[in-house]
Structure 1
Amino acid sequence: MIELQDIKKGFGDKQVLKGVSATMEAGKVNLIIGASGSGKTVLMKCIVGLITADSGKVLYNNQDFTAMNEQDKKSIRQEIGMLFQGSALFDSMTVEQNVMFPLDMFGVGSYREKKKRVLECLDRVNLKDAARKYPAEISGGMKKRVGIARAIVLNPKYLFCDEPNSGLDPQTSLLIDKLIKELTLEYNITTVINTHDMNTVMESGDHIIYMFEGLKQWEGSNEEIIFAKDERLNDFIFASDFLRDAKEMRQMEIFRDKNWRDRLKKPE
């Protein structure tokens, strides 16, 4: 798991993160949501070490990442997979070469071993036949799947996804959500997703952190979010009449489930 302890970060006179504490749970899809400017992107960058927090701790499996030297940080980074918003594929490399890139960077295995692992990952995302194609020759949804294959090629313990559905049509977005969820469960990964996509929130959000003006405003699951009383959260999630109607329908659906009613009655 990943534990955040009182993370603070500012740029000049602007305090972006004002003391965020949370736990990202293993084997679950953990979401960071919030309006633009809420601090969610800066928080994710602090977690992976792209930005150094001004204060606070980031613990990977109880190891203090913020206090590590560069060599120790490298060993943690080798356990991290990253899916970037724009897929971030190298145009001059084939799909196969793009997925192999992390193995080359960390010097993992012989060429034959790397090739075998790459084809396994491409097969897992249903892209084995696209191995020799270039990014310009494949669709946006396929690029995302290549990005996912590259993110899991090192068998990561932690998977970070920045807006994985950005620029995709609704049907492809559903497929990407389903794939990330399956991989999270299959490999017991601690998955952290930064998203605006409400379908991801409602269908994949095992554990959700809602950010507002640099603070953690609300925390819970996608079932709990349906019954949440936080006004800021509800204004953000259920902003339209359509979504408010969908919320009421989901409430009725969930409340008919006796097991869920029993969980509501029992304190955790």
Structure 2
Amino acid sequence: MIEIKNIHKQFGERVILDDITATMEAGKCNLIIGTSGSGKTVLTKCMVGLFEPDSGEILYDGVDMMKMEDEQRKLLRQQIGMLFQGTALFDSMTVEQNVTFPLDMFTKLSSSEKKKRVNEVLERVKLVDANARFPSEISGGMKKRVGIARAIVLNPKYLFCDEPNSGLDPQTSLVIDKLIQEITREFNTTTIVITHDMNSVMEIGDHIVYLHKGRKQWEGTNKDIIFSKDELLNNFIFASDFLQDAKQMRMMGHGK
């Protein structure tokens, strides 16, 4: 669990995050959504320690990250897995070498133990026999799965996913969403997903925080969205006339 309490962040005179409070729950996909410039990325960078909030608290299982000693922070970082927007795989490394990288950085496992662990996570993301291939030799969806394998190889308690479906077709996006959801529930991970993908919101949004101009505008589940009367949220989620009509029909059907 990650608790965000009254987080405020500004750069110069510009307020980016204004008194944001939310709880990211373990075993759930916690989605942070909002338009460009709403504060999603800055909030996430504060949560992982890349930015220091001007005020407020970020509690990892009850411990304030801002008050941690250097050694505590180092241990915390080992418990955080990151799936980057562009996957950020090393082009000159094979799939196996990419997934092994965190093990090389943070563990003293033997070569055989590392290989065993890498094969376990590659099997978990359904990428058996891809070990010797390079990123240039695999599809976009496969790259995302390699990114997920690398993110979970250290058995993280917390998993951050930045736009996991960017650049993917709808069918592959669904596969990635389901994989993230399965891993989250299987390992009781506290998963935070930054996304613009409304399919992801409706598919795996166990808990959703909607930011608007640096403030928390709305919070709820994917089921709550259908019946929300928040105008800003509805304009963001149901941007087209078609989707607005579909929402109205769904609400009318629910009321019968």
TM-score range, shorter chain: over 0.9
Q: Against the structure 1 CA distance between its residues 218 and 131, is the aligned structure 2 distance closer, same or farther, given a 3 Å change threshold?
A: same
Identify unmatched segments of 5+ residues in structure 1.
257-268
Q: Against the structure 1 CA distance between its residues 169 and 228, is the aligned structure 2 distance closer, same or farther, given a 3 Å change threshold?
A: same
Q: Name the residue aligned to 1:207.
A: 207
Q: Name the residue aligned to 1:8.
A: 8
Q: CA-to-partner distance for each residue in 1:122-143, whole Å, 9 max, x for gaps?
A: 0011112111100111111100
Q: CA deviation at 1:54?
A: 1.2
Moved over 3 A (4+): 248-256
Q: Against the structure 1 CA distance between its residues 155 and 108, is the aligned structure 2 distance closer, same or farther, given a 3 Å change threshold?
A: farther
Q: Against the structure 1 CA distance between its residues 6 and 184, is the aligned structure 2 distance closer, same or farther, given a 3 Å change threshold?
A: same
Q: CA deviation at 1:250?
A: 4.4
How large is the Cα RMSD of the aligned pairs?
A: 1.3
- Separation (CA, whole Å) in 1 of partners of 2:75 and 2:123: 27
- Separation (CA, whole Å) in 2 of partners of 1:204 and 1:231: 22
Q: What is the identity percentage for the equivalent residue pairs of Structure 1 and Structure 2?
A: 68
Matching residue's letter, 1:31: L
Q: Name the residue aligned to 2:27.
A: 27
TM-score scaled by length of structure 1: 0.93
Alignment length (residue pairs): 256
Does 2:75 match 1:71? Answer: no
Matching residue's letter, 1:208: I
Identify unmatched segments of 5+ residues in structure 2.
none
Does 2:134 match 1:129? Answer: no
Q: Name the residue aligned to 1:235.
A: 235
Q: Name the residue aligned to 1:101.
A: 101
Matching residue's letter, 2:148: I
Q: CA deviation at 1:160?
A: 0.3
Does 2:116 match 1:116? Answer: yes
Matches within 5 A, 1:173-212: 173-212=173-212
Say which SS state the counterpart of residue 93 (structure 1) adopts. Answer: coil
- Separation (CA, whole Å) in 1 of partners of 2:250 and 2:110: 51
Matches within 5 A, 1:27-106: 27-106=27-106
Answer yes or no: is the 8 Å Cα contact 1:108–1:114 preserved in 2. no
